[in-house]
Structure 1
């Protein structure tokens, strides 16, 4: 599976209002439940928070890639959210997070999980992609950044 298959316009949020990591994850899980990606929100959140306890998913430069793998996930997906205000995430660079990429992976999707995570991390390590994120002014801008980035993979 390619990352372009899991990035969908209905899973992109711009200027999400949240004050904590848990609130961000909760709001993004709401979107997953509303769009049918997950069946049970609480079970999914538990899988995401369990992963967060293993080590931060705040990779630096204002970016976090939390992820949950659970039987409640019906299909692999990624929510892209630009936060209205940065949120503390205990990131590797000790800076708060402005962009969250929450992955949902079915229980049996181990290889899929690693491939999507690798592709996403690769895109986000690109200086041009991070500059475009900073310049983005809308949901459409965010979608276009990743459509272009995926084409370059």
Structure 2
């Protein structure tokens, strides 16, 4: 499944206000619940937090890619947020995170999970994409980066 097929405008937040990692995940999980991507917010967040205990999803460069695989996920999705203020995420480069890409993966989506994670990470390593992220000043700008 291509990344561009699962990114939806209703799952993009610009200038999301959150004080910490948990608040970011909570607000993005709200978006998933509201838009029918997940059926149980608490169980989805448990899956995300369980994955976080295995190692940080803060990949550096102000970016985090947290993800949760659970039976409460109805369909794969990526929620994208540019934070109003960076938050601590225990990132690999020890810098706070400003961009969060939260993946929701159905429990039986092992291959899909790895494919999406790989595609997203590869996209985010592109210098042009990072520059566009830095220059984005609206929700629409964020959407355009990923909806090629």
Deviations 1:74-106 (A, max 9, x none): 000000000000000000000000000000000
Q: TM-score, normalised by structure 1?
A: 0.96
SS at 1:55 equivalent: coil
Number of residues of Structure 1 aligned to a counterpart in Structure 2 = 148
Q: Which residue of 1 aligns with 2:94?
A: 94
Alpha-carbon offset, residue 7 of structure 1: 0.4
Q: Which runs of 5+ in 1 are unaligned?
A: 149-153
SS state at 1:134 partner: helix
Q: Distance in 2 between matches of 1:106 and 1:123?
A: 22
Instruction: Give, in whole Å, the separation in 2 of the partners of 1:147 and 1:4.
Output: 5
Within 5 Å, which residues of 2 pair with 1:14-93? Answer: 14-93=14-93
- SS of residue matched to 1:100: strand
| Cα distance between partner residues in 2 of 1:49 and 1:79 | 16
* TM superposition score normalised by structure 2: 0.99
1:8 aligned partner: 8
Tell me, which stretches of 5 or more residues in structure 2 are unaligned?
none
Shift of 1:147: 2.0
How much has 1:6 moved relative to structure 2?
A: 0.8
Q: Distance in 1 between matches of 2:79 and 2:137?
A: 17
Shift of 1:64: 0.1
What is the RMSD of the two structures over their aligned residues, measured on CA atoms?
Answer: 0.5
Match of 2:135 in 1: 135
